């Protein structure tokens, strides 16, 4: 391909990708599949690799990358970036409207939802995104261009039109969708990082990262609300200008309305009061602006905010309830965390009965005593938080809370490492830690053991039947059925669930082991590099750190895990039990032994009995340790024992090792 052809195709690809990007990230109406989109992208990357001098900063391939920053450069805003006056009262809005009309006569207003995000200013030159900055002190902010380039709803190049010439300055909010917020907090909990209190904090924290590749992993989004009037722009209406942004491909806050008077504005506010909880992003109010650009100019601004705009904020939904107790939960990594047990109360759409309290100093700061009446609120409309106590309502029966010095479950002394906020139980045999590890291992994203719920796990540990994850695989029918509340049916269901858990994909078993800092994503990254547990266990620190998504801390943690003899013993036992520790696709092997049950007796020549058992399981068969009428085959090796005799009496079919091998081959 010559360069001329390449230029043409690259242009075409970029235009297509920009179009589909806009359909997907701005309009949420994709018209092609992800695979088709990826194919366009791959072709563009291929061409740009062939002709690197054709790469331009607005190419869709250039969203992520660039060097790690040492810090942010300060930039001066073209025009001051003001903050809005906030109010919680409708009377204040009437007063605002009165002042506006007194100065410039009757005015129409543009109203939009107020998104709980972080304000940024974007600069486009001839339609190309050239710079993005935080508000800072209003005069100067941080240049966060590299981080904003990773936000897929910010177009790197505008569609052709009246706004794609000259300089365009657009202000708006970068925010984190609720779903992404929940995902990141889950992941952070998994990796033992402090969770974000609300989506706004999460967004601000992300934009401050110096590595844009890390920012790209948080799926931030952007919506515009305040363009500066571009030079030569004809219409006097802000509403029209916002509509023009939309045409240029810039997302604006949806549900915008032009209201002829204040009465209509108040209607809008009431309409959204409860509706806002259904939005995929956190909405904390409504922003009101004078529509006429000349009237805005005439009204001007005070020392800190414009006179033509005001933000009405909804009261955060709060409730008072009783703090019934402060309990301690011991996580699978041993951290001991206080949890508020509340008299159930309904807030922002759900019933709240528990709330995390982080640590002892937070409990002091909020002045909480057990038995107190407390004020509860949902941070960012999502996470329940105990804000403070109401000491006026105390009757003297309230009790102060003291963080214990010893593990509430096993009684060993808690330790606190430097720079760690949590107290930890470091007793490897602590039943609390074992229970959490078991429920993590049995959970849906891990080994997914049907029938093994929280209650049963507590029973198994308390009865002493399970002292390690591997003990699950030694549980017998007799042991289980003897447990309280376990019938024959639930026992069989559980045994089937335990059997099934051996065949989960390697990455899920790895995740289930609960290696510190290795979440589901980390486990996937490891599995894409190492085909089985032996390869992974042999990897040194350098090899581990090289893997995308595995940092030095995680690499060290993985190494530490495999250097601990207790963990090696665990893996060996799981391996022997037939748990899958490799990426070899189980599906690829035909289920030729499906439904057949095998018992082995005597020594085999060609493979160990464990291995033989695994081969049966891979083909959908079952392996049992004792012969019964339900046994289909007894495989008799050298010096078979009593099982051989039992099989003969019961009339069960007995086969030799050679016959067994032929069965495996499907003959
Ligand atoms: Zn303990």
The string of DSSP codes covering 549-562 is: T--HHHHHHHHHHH
Whether residue 400 is contained in a domain is answered as no
CATH number (domain holding residue 368): 2.40.50.140
- The whole-number pLDDT of residue 106 equals 95
Does residue 248 sit in helix, strand or coil?
A: coil
- The whole-number pLDDT of residue 416 equals 83
Whether residue 404 is contained in a domain is answered as no
Q: Range of 275's domain? A: 76-313
Whether residue 398 is contained in a domain is answered as no
The CA distance from 503 to 577, in Å, is 11
Cα 50 to chain centroid, rounded: 37
Q: Please tell me whether residues 500 and 625 are part of one structural domain.
A: no
Which residues have CB under 8 Å from 43's CB, separation 6+? 9, 13
| Active-site hit among 114, 378, 502, 643 | 114
Point out the domain boundary residue: 262, 290, 313.
313
pLDDT along the chain (667 residues), means of 10: 91 93 87 87 92 91 78 92 91 96 96 94 96 93 94 94 94 93 80 78 91 88 95 94 96 94 96 84 92 96 92 87 94 87 86 88 92 87 85 94 90 82 83 91 89 91 92 94 89 92 92 88 89 93 88 88 90 94 69 82 84 81 82 88 84 89 82
Name residue, tokens 């106590």.
389
Name residue, tokens 């335990």.
498
- The whole-number pLDDT of residue 602 equals 86
Q: Please tell me whether residues 55 and 133 are part of one structural domain.
A: no
Whether residue 421 is contained in a domain is answered as no
**414-441 burial: b if 16+ Cβ within 10 Å, else e:** beeeeeeebbbbebeebbbbbbbbbbbb
Range 646-653, long-range pairs (CB < 8 A, 24+ positions): 647/599, 647/601, 652/599, 652/627
CATH number (domain holding residue 450): 1.10.150.20
CATH number (domain holding residue 595): 3.40.50.10190
Ligand 1 center to 552 CA (angstroms): 28
Nearest to 599 by CA among 638, 569, 632, 562: 632
Ligand 1 center to 357 CA (angstroms): 20
Q: Please tell me whether residues 36 and 83 are part of one structural domain.
A: no
Ligand 1 center to 516 CA (angstroms): 17
Q: Please tell me whether residues 571 and 628 are part of one structural domain.
A: no
Q: Please tell me whether residues 490 and 551 are part of one structural domain.
A: yes
- Phi, psi dihedral angles at 8 (to 5 degrees): -65, -45
Ligand 1 center to 335 CA (angstroms): 9
| Contact call for residues 192 and 419 (beta carbons, < 8 A) | no
The CA distance from 580 to 505, in Å, is 7
Q: Please tell me whether residues 202 and 254 are part of one structural domain.
A: yes
Whether residue 426 is contained in a domain is answered as no
**87-112 burial: b if 16+ Cβ within 10 Å, else e:** beeeeebeebbeebeeebeebbbbbb
Point out the domain boundary residue: 577, 600, 625.
577
Look up the pTM and report it.
Answer: 0.64
Q: How far is CA 232 from CA 159, 226, 513, in A?
A: 18, 17, 63
| Contact call for residues 13 and 54 (beta carbons, < 8 A) | no
Is the dihedral angle over the CA atoms 353, 358, 364, 370 positive or is it negative? positive
Whether residue 414 is contained in a domain is answered as no
Whether residue 442 is contained in a domain is answered as yes
Cα 527 to chain centroid, rounded: 20
Q: Please tell me whether residues 157 and 306 are part of one structural domain.
A: yes
Ligand 1 center to 479 CA (angstroms): 26
CATH number (domain holding residue 148): 3.30.470.30
Ligand 1 center to 221 CA (angstroms): 42
Q: Please tell me whether residues 251 and 332 are part of one structural domain.
A: no
Ligand 1 center to 428 CA (angstroms): 8
Lookup: tokens for 16: 């297509």
The CA distance from 2 to 182, in Å, is 49
Which residues have CB under 8 Å from 386's CB, separation 6+? 323, 340, 342, 355, 357, 366, 368, 374, 375, 376
Q: Please tell me whether residues 157 and 47 are part of one structural domain.
A: no
Q: How far is CA 499 from CA 6, 473, 504, 595, 642, in A?
A: 56, 8, 10, 13, 25
Q: Please tell me whether residues 322 and 454 are part of one structural domain.
A: no
Whether residue 289 is contained in a domain is answered as yes
CATH number (domain holding residue 33): 1.10.287.610
Q: Please tell me whether residues 290 and 175 are part of one structural domain.
A: yes
Point out the domain boundary residue: 521, 543, 577.
577
Name residue, tokens 């010095």.
405
| Contact call for residues 606 and 529 (beta carbons, < 8 A) | no
Laid out side by side, the sheet with 653-655 consists of 622-623, 597-601, 633-636, 653-655
Strands (E), 252-369: 257-259, 283-290, 309-313, 318-330, 335-347, 350-356
Lookup: tokens for 208: 């401050």
The CA distance from 659 to 226, in Å, is 78
Ligand 1 center to 424 CA (angstroms): 8
Number of separate domains in the chain? 5
Active site residue 114: yes
Q: Please tell me whether residues 185 and 226 are part of one structural domain.
A: yes
| Contact call for residues 251 and 153 (beta carbons, < 8 A) | yes
Cβ neighbours around 563 below 10 Å, total: 10
| Contact call for residues 479 and 553 (beta carbons, < 8 A) | no
């Amino acid at each position: 391909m010559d360069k001329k052809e390449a230029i043409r195709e690259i242009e075409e690809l970029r235009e297509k990708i920009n179009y589909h990007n806009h359909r997907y990230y701005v309009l949420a109406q994709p018209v092609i599949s992800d695979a088709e989109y990826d194919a366009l992208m791959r072709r563009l990357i291929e061409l740009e690799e062939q002709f690197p001098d054709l790469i331009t900063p607005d190419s869709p391939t250039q969203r992520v990358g660039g060097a790690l920053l040492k810090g942010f450069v300060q930039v001066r805003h073209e025009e001051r970036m003001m903050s809005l006056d906030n109010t919680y009262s409708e009377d204040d809005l009437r007063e605002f409207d009165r002042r506006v009309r007194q100065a410039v006569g009757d005015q129409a207003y543009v109203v939009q939802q107020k998104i709980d995000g972080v304000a940024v200013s974007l600069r486009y030159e001839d339609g190309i995104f050239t710079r993005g900055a935080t508000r800072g002190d209003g005069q100067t902010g941080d240049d966060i261009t590299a981080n904003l380039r990773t936000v897929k709803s910010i177009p790197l190049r505008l569609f052709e039109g009246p706004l794609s010439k000259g300089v365009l300055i657009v202000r708006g909010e970068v925010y984190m969708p609720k779903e992404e917020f929940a995902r990141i907090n889950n992941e952070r909990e998994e990796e033992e990082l402090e969770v974000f209190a609300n989506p706004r904090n999460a967004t601000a924290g992300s934009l401050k990262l110096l590595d844009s590749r890390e920012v790209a992993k948080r799926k931030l989004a952007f919506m515009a609300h305040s363009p500066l009037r571009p030079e030569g722009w004809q219409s006097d209406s802000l509403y029209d200008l916002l509509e023009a942004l939309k045409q240029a491909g810039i997302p604006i806050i949806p549900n915008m309305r032009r209201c002829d008077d204040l009465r209509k504005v108040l209607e809008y506010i009431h309409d959204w009061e409860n509706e806002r909880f259904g939005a995929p992003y956190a909405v904390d109010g409504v922003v009101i602006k004078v529509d006429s650009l000349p009237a805005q100019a005439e009204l001007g601004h005070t020392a800190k905010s414009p006179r033509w705009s005001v933000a009405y904020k909804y009261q955060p939904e709060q409730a008072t309830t009783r703090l019934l107790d402060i309990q301690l939960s011991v996580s699978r990594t041993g951290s001991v965390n206080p949890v508020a047990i509340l008299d159930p109360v309904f807030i922002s759409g759900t019933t709240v009965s528990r709330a995390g309290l982080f640590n002892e100093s937070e409990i002091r700061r909020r002045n909480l005593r057990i038995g107190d009446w407390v004020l509860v609120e949902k941070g960012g409309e999502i996470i329940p938080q105990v804000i403070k106590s109401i000491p006026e309502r105390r009757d003297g029966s309230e009790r102060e809370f003291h963080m214990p010095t010893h593990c509430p479950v096993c009684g060993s002394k808690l330790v606190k490492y430097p720079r760690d906020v949590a107290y930890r139980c470091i007793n490897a045999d602590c039943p609390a830690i074992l229970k959490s590890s078991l429920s993590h291992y049995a959970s849906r994203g891990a080994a997914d053991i049907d029938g093994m719920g929280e209650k049963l796990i507590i029973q198994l540990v308390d009865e002493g039947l399970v002292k390690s994850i591997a003990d699950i695989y030694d549980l017998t029918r007799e042991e289980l059925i003897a447990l309280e509340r376990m019938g024959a049916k639930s026992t069989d269901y559980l045994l089937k669930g335990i059997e099934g858990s051996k065949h989960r994909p390697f990455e899920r078993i790895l995740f289930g082991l609960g290696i510190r800092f290795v979440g589901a994503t980390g486990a996937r990254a490891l599995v894409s590099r190492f085909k089985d547990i032996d390869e992974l266990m042999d990897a040194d620190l350098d090899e581990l750190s090289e893997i995308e998504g595995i940092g030095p801390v995680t690499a060290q943690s993985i190494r530490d895990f495999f250097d601990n003899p207790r963990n090696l013993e665990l893996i060996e036992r799981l391996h022997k039990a037939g748990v899958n520790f490799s990426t070899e696709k189980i599906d690829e092997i035909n289920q030729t032994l499906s439904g057949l049950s095998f018992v082995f007796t005597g020594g085999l020549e060609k493979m160990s009995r464990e291995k033989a058992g695994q081969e049966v399981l891979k083909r959908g068969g079952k392996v049992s340790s004792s012969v019964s009428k339900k046994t289909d085959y007894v495989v008799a090796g050298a010096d078979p024992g009593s099982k051989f005799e039992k099989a003969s009496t019961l009339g069960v079919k007995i086969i030799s090792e050679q016959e067994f091998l032929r069965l495996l081959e499907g003959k």
